[in-house]
């Protein structure tokens, strides 16, 4: 890390129960030439990977649905979100991570993935960078029911739907997960059902 506008960075651990929450105190050189002390909290949950599975022949995508407590306490009626398959890297390479997550969550075994971007989702408070992938799936790749890793208390519903329906669910508010919206819009902009 090299930034001549930051100095005297102090990191104090606030919590490491599930992920890591730190209090950061530092001096920041503003554009007007003045130094200002800044105090922020920063949540470190590790980096992750996310994928949109698509079937060109059927014009479908595979998504997941699971309960997310932060959305529930923030007013999401039942706390369930429709999402693209995703997971934390846990020291794996992004490609290896996402293949493992696809198998655990959706029951599909995929061999080839295409990385399309990297992006921060909440850079004001969270360190996580996500590696975004797409991959084609076919029915013969389905090796189990999916549903997530039992030892991680995952209870995931696998959803196969038309691409058109998934995109429409952004407009209706049924899909509110930013990583899923990004991948669906990437697919739409890049005409993956035509050009991939």
Kindly tell me if the per-residue pLDDT of 80 is higher than 90: yes
Q: 84-88, 111-115, 145-149, 186-190: which has the minimum mean pLDDT?
A: 145-149
What value does the mean pLDDT take over residues 11-28?
A: 95
pLDDT at 147: 76
**3-state class (DSSP) for residue 185:** helix
* % of the chain surpassing 70 pLDDT: 95
Q: How far apart are CA 154 and CA 11, in angstroms?
A: 32
Query: Token match 């290896």: residue?
Result: 96
Domain ranges of the chain: 6-44, 48-195
The position carrying tokens 């990583």 is 179
pLDDT of res. 113? 98
Averaged pLDDT score across all residues of the chain: 93
Determine the pLDDT at residue 77.
84
Count of residues making up the chain: 196
User: In the structure, what pLDDT confidence band is assigned to residue 43 with cuts at 50, 70 and 90?
Assistant: very high
pTM of the predicted model as reported, rounded to 2 decimal places: 0.92
pLDDT given at position 117: 97
Cα(32)–Cα(27) distance, integer angstroms = 14
Phi, psi of 143 (to 5 degrees): -115, -15
**Tens digits of residue pLDDT in 133-189:** 999 999 999 998 787 766 666 789 999 999 999 999 999 999 999 999 999 999 999
Question: Quick check: 45 pLDDT over 70?
Answer: yes
Work out the end-to-end distance of the chain between its first and last CA atoms, rounded to an integer number of angstroms: 38
pLDDT for position 151: 64
Choice among 45-49, 74-78, 181-185 with the minimum mean pLDDT: 74-78
pLDDT at 144: 85
Rounded Cα gap, residues 137 and 105, in angstroms: 14
Which residue from 50, 86, 83, 60 is spatially nearest to 160, judged by alpha carbons? 60
- CATH number 3.90.79.10 given to 48-195: yes
pLDDT digits (tens, 9 = 90+) for 52-66: 999 999 999 999 999
Given a cut of 80, is residue 94 above it in pLDDT? yes
């Amino acid at each position: 890390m090299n930034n001549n506008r930051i100095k005297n960075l102090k990191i104090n651990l606030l919590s490491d129960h599930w992920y890591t929450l730190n209090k950061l105190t530092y001096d920041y050189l503003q554009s007007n030439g003045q130094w200002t002390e800044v105090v922020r909290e920063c949540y470190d949950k590790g980096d992750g990977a996310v994928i949109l599975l698509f079937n060109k022949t059927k014009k479908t995508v595979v998504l997941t649905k699971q309960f997310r407590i932060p959305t529930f306490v923030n007013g999401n009626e039942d706390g369930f979100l429709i999402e693209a398959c995703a997971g934390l890297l846990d020291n794996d390479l992004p490609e290896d991570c996402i293949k493992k997550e696809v198998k655990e969550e959706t029951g599909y075994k995929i061999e080839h993935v295409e990385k399309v971007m990297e992006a921060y989702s909440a850079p004001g408070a969270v360190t996580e960078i996500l590696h975004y992938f797409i991959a084609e799936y076919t029915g013969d790749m389905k090796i189990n029911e999916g549903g997530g890793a039992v030892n991680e208390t995952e209870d995931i519903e696998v959803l196969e739907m038309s691409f058109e329906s998934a995109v429409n669910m952004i407009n209706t508010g049924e899909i509110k997960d930013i990583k899923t919206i990004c991948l669906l819009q990437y697919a739409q902009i890049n005409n993956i059902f035509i050009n991939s």
